[in-house]
Chains A and B, each alone.
Chain A
């Protein structure tokens, strides 16, 4: 028999999280701080709207781009937040989670050999999606001393004549880093000078704990060279509904729509009805959840520092990214030992890029009681290492 497989796909490394997941699942009474999703249920009025749509028999396809009403709400949301206009008909598309949008945006923009700058540590899919799209991923290794923000120097360093796309993964999973207005301002001249396109993945934008979050699309000229990606998973605790969206200039969105049309047809209809309700009446829920995350964030950072685990102040998402360099252990070794000895599961920083070595991702999408229990165990473990 011939080899049934495509060599590009087989060459891609499986997610580093997978291996860890398998070990944790085996262990019975392990406490996990390893999830990348909210601990809240989707607010009831949003779930109720989804149920209502089912009761009404709304079990059909929607248009490829998504429900018009939802697209209207999306463009209104972006206008409200960033004062940027997108056409709901030609520049807005509802996707199956932000992940689909990442994949499609890369596929429509890349030709073989085009380079994509991927700041790391970051979400696991940018690199494999770039490879699958025929591009060449070029990691930019962010550093703790910059609070894991993308600096103009770091950006400039990795640009070659082949560079076409810059991924902006902020607020960041796994570091919790954000890019403030001043940070974005500094990289924009470089983007313009080298005529780069930007994929900004702002799935965590509602979970920012410092001032009003900024987006690259706010800056003059940037909207025209940017695909803006957001979704409902994190802000409204809707991960399982699989719903996201992207907005961008028509020339790009036209092609994305084509891909989406042939690969997906349309995002789940029930989820779209629920998401419309989320955007219409969900602001209070988001504010409440944000405040709750923020409380746990402060608690976690304080406790970690007290037990001698250094960490920079993360102002976004729901992760803390402490350094374990002083313990002279690799991230994987630390995480494995912590799991075996104290039964607490964390994700090694290396799952998010090589430069995550020496760090761990701790999620605070857990109740305070769970956090407390887990931190007590981590403290015990760390005190043995000293």
Chain B
């Protein structure tokens, strides 16, 4: 049941407990208890909203930074990751396989702001060897959702 709840709210976190219970054919109380348990166990870590910022007045710049580091003795990558993800402007940090070590997703108000984060905060860190910053020019699809244009139901309204 946990997996089912998760797949449902992964796509739509605004569904009420009652809705989820109806969808699954379970009791409200059981679903509520499972969700609470998963929140406590940090399986559910938060409820976010997918926003197309391009359609707002807000200016935002997203960037993906490839970071190469030297792992520290005894601590490996985790402590470096921690030093990077503590910054508020950092959206995500992933340890990667392949030719670099971390992917850092960051958003700022301007390109300058992002650039200054890289040059004054990220690059000077002891363990960071090099960075490569890629700015996002346009988002087509995010979190499994095509964000360019809303889906329009073009089917005939009534059909046999």
Chain A positions within 8 Å of B, measured between CB atoms, are: 15, 17, 20-21, 24-25, 30, 32, 34-37, 39, 123-125, 173, 295-296, 298-299, 302-303, 345, 347, 351, 366, 368-370, 372
> Is B158 in contact with A345, judged by CB distance below 8 angstroms?
yes
> Is B24 in contact with A295, judged by CB distance below 8 angstroms?
yes
- Does B46 have its Cβ within 8 Å of any Cβ on chain A? no
| 9 examples of A-B residue contacts, CB within 8 angstroms | A15-B160, A20-B158, A36-B159, A296-B23, A298-B24, A299-B19, A368-B15, A368-B23, A369-B12
> Is B160 in contact with A36, judged by CB distance below 8 angstroms?
yes
B23 shortest CB reach to chain A, Å: 4
Given A35-B157, A39-B153, list of 17 further CB < 8 A pairs?
Answer: A17-B160, A21-B158, A24-B157, A24-B158, A32-B158, A34-B157, A35-B155, A37-B155, A173-B160, A295-B8, A296-B23, A298-B25, A299-B19, A303-B22, A345-B157, A366-B153, A372-B19
- Does B1 have its Cβ within 8 Å of any Cβ on chain A? no
> Is B159 in contact with A17, judged by CB distance below 8 angstroms?
yes
> Is A295 in contact with B158, judged by CB distance below 8 angstroms?
no
A366 proximity list for chain B (CB < 8 A): 153
A125 proximity list for chain B (CB < 8 A): 160
A345 proximity list for chain B (CB < 8 A): 157-158
- Does B51 have its Cβ within 8 Å of any Cβ on chain A? no
- Chain B residue with Cβ nearest A19: B158
Q: Count the B residues whose beta carbon is within 8 Å of the partner chain — how many?
A: 15
A298–B22 Cα gap in the complex (Å)?
A: 6
* Contact A368-B12, Cβ < 8 Å, known A35-B155, A298-B25: yes
Per DSSP, chain B at the interface is loop
A303–B158 Cα gap in the complex (Å)?
A: 22
Of the listed residues B19, B25, B158, B159, the one surrounded by the most CB atoms of chain A closer than 10 A to its CB is: B158
A366 shortest CB reach to chain B, Å: 8
A261 shortest CB reach to chain B, Å: 27
A37 proximity list for chain B (CB < 8 A): 155, 159
A81–B153 Cα gap in the complex (Å)?
A: 33
Chain B positions within 8 Å of A, measured between CB atoms, are: 8, 12, 15, 19, 22-25, 153, 155-160
> Is A35 in contact with B158, judged by CB distance below 8 angstroms?
yes
A13–B15 Cα gap in the complex (Å)?
A: 44
The one of B12, B23, B153, B156 in contact with A299, judged by C-beta atoms closer than 8 angstroms, is B23
B153 proximity list for chain A (CB < 8 A): 39, 366, 370
B24 proximity list for chain A (CB < 8 A): 295, 298
A21 proximity list for chain B (CB < 8 A): 156-159
Of the listed residues B8, B25, B156, B159, the one surrounded by the most CB atoms of chain A closer than 10 A to its CB is: B159
> Is A35 in contact with B159, judged by CB distance below 8 angstroms?
yes
* Contact A34-B23, Cβ < 8 Å, known A295-B8, A368-B12, A368-B15: no
A303–B20 Cα gap in the complex (Å)?
A: 12
Top 10 nearest A-B pairs (CB, nearest first) are: A34-B158, A302-B22, A32-B157, A21-B158, A295-B23, A24-B157, A299-B22, A298-B25, A36-B159, A299-B23
> Is B25 in contact with A302, judged by CB distance below 8 angstroms?
yes
* Contact A39-B159, Cβ < 8 Å, known A295-B23, A299-B23, A372-B19: no
- Chain B residue with Cβ nearest A124: B160
